[in-house]
Amino acid sequence: MDIRIAGIIPESFVDGEGIRYAVFMQGCTRHCEGCQNPATHALDGGKIMDTAEIIAAIKRNPLLAGITLTGGEPLLQIPAATELAKATKKLGLNVWCYTGFVFEEIPAAAQELLNFVDVLVDGPFILSQRDLELDFRGSRNQRIINLNEWRKANG
Ligand code: SF4
């Protein structure tokens, strides 16, 4: 399946816990003031890859704890994000996903994707709430939500 990406960091230490294969997905319409990745905004930017190519690269690295879907806005490419997340879970690895949506407002179309996500980092970057001390997020409004715990608590 095609996926439009801005870039890949095959071994990232800053996009979640452990060594992670970070996929920076291309496209975001939110344009948060102070966004660190403005080059990821153009919906027709970046380059097209095949998700199979990405999954093969993930399989080849035994050091990975998991993958991180980030961007850009991963929820603008739900089918491709779902395919990557599902394949990653099949490999016994975990999935982190960043989104500019707040958890409670995530579109229903992303439900299947969320089933394969362990940790969601939600919400837009808000410059007035920027905090350089935070782990894995840029502003205080953003939350690191353990979806496994959330599923246990909410059935
Ligand atoms: S949602 Fe993320 S990628 Fe999009 S503009 Fe905001 S900070 Fe940048």
Ligand 1 centroid–CA 25 distance in Å is 11
Residue closest by Cα to atom 8 of ligand 1: 35
Per-residue pLDDT, 120: 98
* Gap between the Cα atoms of 126 and 101, Å rounded: 12
Other Cβ atoms less than 10 A from the Cβ of 98: the count is 26
Among protein residues, the one with the nearest Cα to ligand 1's atom 1 is: 100
pLDDT tens digits for range 136-150: 999 999 999 999 999
Q: Where are the domains of the chain?
A: 2-154
Confidence check: pLDDT of 117 > 90: yes
pLDDT (tens digit, 9 = 90+) per residue, 80-109?
999 999 999 999 999 999 999 999 999 999
DSSP strands (E only) in the chain:
2-12, 20-25, 47-50, 66-71, 94-98, 119-122, 143-146
Candidate of 33, 37, 77, 137 to mutate for ligand 1, largest count of ligand atoms within 8 Å of Cβ: 37
Residue 127 Cα to ligand 1 midpoint, Å, equals 11
What's the CA-to-centroid distance between 146 and ligand 1, angstroms? 21
**Which CATH number, 3.40.50.150, 3.20.20.70, 2.60.40.3950, 3.40.50.300, labels domain 2-154?**
3.20.20.70
Q: How far is CA 146 from CA 63, 115, 127, in A?
A: 22, 12, 24
pLDDT, residue 50, reads 98
The percentage of the chain sitting over the pLDDT mark of 70, rounded to a whole number, equals 100
pLDDT the model gives residue 155: 76
Please answer whether residues 61 and 32 qualify as being in contact, where contact means their C-beta atoms are separated by less than 8 angstroms. Answer: no
Q: Is 60 helix (H, G, I), strand (E, B) or coil?
A: helix
Residues whose CB is less than 8 angstroms from the CB of residue 124 and which lie 6 or more positions away in sequence, other chains included: 30, 32, 100, 141, 142
Average model confidence (pLDDT) for the chain?
97
Mean pLDDT computed over 58-78: 98
Task: Give the pLDDT mean for 119-136.
Answer: 97
Q: If you measure from the C-alpha of residue 62 to the centroid of ligand 1, how many angstroms do you get, rounded to a whole number?
A: 31
Pick from 113, 110, 105: which is nearest to 87 by CA?
A: 113
